[in-house]
Amino acid sequence: MTAVALRMAQAAMRVWRGVVWYVRELSGEARYDHYLEHMRRDHPGTCTLTEREFLRARERAEREHPNTSCCC
């Protein structure tokens, strides 16, 4: 692979990773990852919820405290 082709492939991978990151953030898929990061940083040694438990707790919290500030 030539140097130019290698740089183009690397640039394409950076763009692809950026797109994947953006879609995960926009869709909410990355929330569990953020939760794990928060727990490791701010509450070391504390047991964390599984992804399934986290999603259920989040859904329950959203049902009990709906965001009514949106116009939709």
Helix (H) or strand (E) holding 64: helix 51-64
pLDDT for residue 50: 96
pTM value is: 0.69
Q: Using one digit for the tens of pLDDT, what is the confidence trace for 43-54?
A: 999 999 999 999
> For the segment 3-62, what is each residue's pLDDT rounded down to a tens digit?
999 999 999 999 999 999 999 999 989 999 999 999 999 999 999 999 999 999 999 998
Which residues 6+ apart lie within 8 Å of 55 measured at CB? 32
Distances (CA, A) of 9 to 18, 22, 36, 46: 14, 20, 32, 41
- Residue 72, pLDDT > 70, answer no
